[in-house]
Structure 1
Amino acid sequence: MRRAADLPRVTPTGGCGRLQAGAAADACVGPGQRPPQGTEGDDRAGRRAVPAARPVSQDFTADAPNRLWFGDITYVRTWDGWAYVASVIDAFSRKVVGWAVADHMRTDLVLDALRMAITRRHPPKGVIFHADRGSQYTSKEFVDFCKINNVRNSVGRTGICFDNAAAESFWATLKKEFIHLHPFDTVERLRTGVFEYIEVYYNRLRIHSTIGYLTPVEFEDEFDKKGDRAA
């Protein structure tokens, strides 16, 4: 098996088929089937929800890495039942810097994704993390975690999907290019598939028009090279 670095860059159409072999089973989500949904302001973990600031106003751009992150939760049907995926994406490069998969949508799910991003990126004090006004992102546990780690917590307005449109766009891409092409029998199989899609394909091989038809890794590498030349 070739390393990710040895694989060719690909366009968004049909580029991740190699990742899907072996991850599928013969099940599908029928029409109208939807998982249980949390309500905004209602922390499913039973913790008190707290107000959160909204420093982001539908502007999902940044002039450098680790200035603005955004994220969300989506759901995937498996043979074992519903599974949930959380993301953290860097607005500068569209690189997925944190993610988590679980069989629940408690606050721990989004904490695991944000914890991965912080551990990997070591962001400067004051990096903004923007999400919708879901119960997980407004819970006291999540807000306290952001404060402890010097992350500015930002949430969208109630019922305004455009306030987190960039995160929703990533889910649409993930499902179109990967999830909807085959189902999964277990949550663990889904976790493996999400790892391969994000870490091997999306971040390293898939080019993005919004960043000059480069991959997220290439775009950040170019930024680092410019900084080195200017130093």
Structure 2
Amino acid sequence: MIFSPQHKIGDLMNKRTKRTFTPEFRLECAQLIVDKGYSYRQASEAVNVGSTTLESWVRQLRRERQFAVPEPDRVWCGDITYIWAGNRWCYLAVVMDLFARRVIGWSLSANADTALISNALRMAYETRSQPRDVMFHSDQGSQCTGLKYQQLLWRYRIKQSVSRRGNCWDNSPMERFFRSLKTEWVPANGYVGKDEARRQINRYILNYYNSVRPHHYNGGLTPEESENRYRSYCKTVANIT
């Protein structure tokens, strides 16, 4: 394709700040290569970003598109991580709706057991008004494959898929959320106790991650904004038809 220097200015470059790259800028740079046929050299010259950086953004875009779903409450994913609180490890189970990467259920406990992940799934199911025909993706941990949890999935009519053993990319949206939580919010020395950890994690999810923090996958929109935009579009289409 013919390279145009006009891509160095305009809307795309406005999304780049002096010290960092906005989520919109990273996404659209990757789309130049993945969707519009630019070579890495052409894209690098157009947006003044190194080829190595562009390659990492392209890899990220391609990974995320593997988890793209057409609407909310079609595919959820879940996982467990550890949080230091009160001089011991506690365990955080999280359920995410993959449409806009919105966290919809979570639970914190001193034990990484079936009750922990069941509480997170139960919260997600009630928060989302008991949707039907959801696909739930998780790893092959014993908590997710045990009989009691399977019975809960059956009761909610949720279908389950599990990732390949040892392949973290099969559940990369959850891995990225946990990384964001720990680098952006959790203190380096952890929390003084489980109650404080629970309060702070609630704040992060409800008051920041879902509602304030721009998400690269959503083109810079928050998960709430992305879902609201989708529902508004659906209402508009319904009114037209």
What secondary structure, in the 3-state scheme, does the structure 2 residue paired with 1:159 have? coil
Measured after TM superposition, the shift of residue 123 of structure 1 is 4.5
Find out whether 1:175 has 2:182 as its counterpart. yes
The equivalent residue for 2:8 is none
What secondary structure, in the 3-state scheme, does the structure 1 residue paired with 2:132 have? coil
Equivalences for residues 1-231 of structure 1 within 5 A: 59-181=66-188, 183-231=190-238
Distance 1:71 1:61 in 2: 16
The one-letter amino acid paired with 1:156 is S
CA deviation vs aligned residue, 1:70-91 (integer Å, no higher than 9, x gap): 0100001122411110000010
Structure 2, gaps ≥5 residues long: 1-19, 21-64
Q: Root-mean-square deviation (CA), in Å?
A: 1.5
- Give the number of the structure whose residues are more often helix, by fraction: 2
Does 1 or 2 have the higher relative contact order (CA < 8 Å, sep 6+)? 1
Structure 1, gaps ≥5 residues long: 1-12, 14-57
Runs of 4+ in structure 1 over 3 Å off? none
Partners of 2:84 and 2:189 within 8 A in 1: no
Distance 1:174 1:168 in 2: 10
What is the count of residue pairs matched by the alignment?
175
The equivalent residue for 1:20 is none
Give percent identity, aligned residues only: 37
Partners of 2:78 and 2:93 within 8 A in 1: yes
Distance 1:145 1:89 in 2: 17
Measured after TM superposition, the shift of residue 182 of structure 1 is 5.1
Partners of 1:203 and 1:216 within 8 A in 2: yes
CA deviation vs aligned residue, 1:49-73 (integer Å, no higher than 9, x gap): xxxxxxxxx9322110000000100
Partners of 1:66 and 1:123 within 8 A in 2: no
What secondary structure, in the 3-state scheme, does the structure 1 residue paired with 2:135 have? strand
Measured after TM superposition, the shift of residue 122 of structure 1 is 2.3
Measured after TM superposition, the shift of residue 171 of structure 1 is 0.6
What secondary structure, in the 3-state scheme, does the structure 1 residue paired with 2:127 have? helix
